[in-house]
Amino acid sequence: MSAAGLTSRNTETIERALDIKGRSLWVDARRRLMKNRAAVVSIVLLATIALFAVFVPLVWPYSYDAIDYGNILCAPSWWPDRSVSCFAGGHHIFGTEQNGRDLFIRVLYGARISLAVGLVATMVSLLIGVGYGAIAGFVGGKLDELMMRFVDVLYALPYIFLVIILMVVFNQNFFLLFVAIGAVEWLTMARIVRGQTLSIKEKEFVEAARAAGVGTLTNIRRHIIPNILGPVVVYVTLTIPTVILSESFLSFLGLGIRDPLTSWGVLISDGAAHMETAPWMLLFPAAIMAITLFCFNFIGDGLRDALDPKDR
């Protein structure tokens, strides 16, 4: 082959190579996540639970707060023990509770509250923890020492004790439940972000930005936070089930959601009180809550594997 032919062929090869677009970290992570069957199934299940919680109550024939004393503690229509099936006014697929209210619709309303608490409280902890940890790690020095000693002091106090104090002080306000849990949950987030920031702030591109006169807050916003999103996203998916459990525990103690509103913790507390006579009251909310928590954990594991640079 002539030199001109080789040159032409090499030119075509180079052009084809230039046309190939590289995959970014997030595109590659999404592709790897979609190959994780447990994570994909978990995403589908969570989306299904969320859609049911949002839209089914709009068309369901029963209301979450409609008391029916003629159908107290009635089992589902398919329940093996037919002696407790007493549906004079219709069929309830999850049965009814101690006030005759439809358990299925209350489980869905409980999903609304529990998922909302999990998401909002996690976002509160995310905002506080990321900002606090990034500033402490990037500035360093005495400010870092002071900020992290404050975190250590808060760590030494019992977590649930702090949340209970906040709830009592604010008179169990429903909306402040989100803030109270999130305001305590940010401590681990701050430590994770600080550790990541300490490793990134010595990179060449950060040093170049400093030399160019970029301010501290701008440097954190443009260079630090975008490069720590991987570990933060993974931790967020693991924080949501922790927050849901915390809310459920508070509601179980009677310090959370108040009747007629409900959450999974309230339903489980009511179910535990009637476990021997009406086991379905405990079975269904506990099962849905367990499935949700497993889904978040599987998604967190999938994201951790997808974002791990050693496996790329």
pLDDT of residue 308: 61
d(C-alpha 195, C-alpha 299), whole Å: 23
The letter for the amino acid at 9 is: R
pLDDT of residue 13: 53
Query: Within a 13 Å sphere around the CA of 22, how many CA atoms are in the beta-carbon half?
Result: 3
Instruction: With CA atoms as reference, report the closest residue to 72 among 63, 57, 84.
Output: 84
pLDDT band at 25 (very low <50, low <70, confident <90, very high): low
Better pLDDT: 164 or 173? 164
pLDDT of residue 210: 75
Contact partners, residue 121, CB within 8 Å, separation at least 6:
177, 178, 179, 181, 182, 185, 243, 247
Q: Is 212 helix (H, G, I), strand (E, B) or coil?
A: coil
pLDDT of residue 287: 92
pLDDT of residue 12: 54
pLDDT surpasses 50 at 18: no
pLDDT surpasses 60 at 310: no
pLDDT tens readout for residues 80-89: 665 555 655 5
pLDDT of residue 250: 75
pLDDT tens readout for residues 226-261: 777 778 887 888 888 888 887 777 777 777 777 777
pLDDT of residue 45: 93
pLDDT of residue 214: 73
Q: Which domains does the chain have, with CATH numbers?
A: 25-70+103-311 (1.10.3720.10)
pLDDT band at 51 (very low <50, low <70, confident <90, very high): very high
Mean pLDDT of the chain: 78
Better pLDDT: 13 or 97? 97
Per-residue DSSP letters for 248-308?
HHHHHTTSS--TTS--HHHHHHHHHHTTTT-THHHHHHHHHHHHHHHHHHHHHHHHHHHT-
pLDDT tens readout for residues 136-154: 888 888 888 898 888 888 8
pLDDT surpasses 90 at 48: yes
pLDDT of residue 311: 52
Mean pLDDT throughout 62-75? 80
pTM for this model (two decimals): 0.75
Percentage of the chain with pLDDT > 90?
5
Mean pLDDT throughout 108-125? 86
6-10, 65-69, 194-198, 221-225: range with highest mean pLDDT: 194-198
Alpha carbon separation from 301 to 189, 226, 237, 261 (Å, rounded)? 17, 21, 9, 33
pLDDT band at 170 (very low <50, low <70, confident <90, very high): low
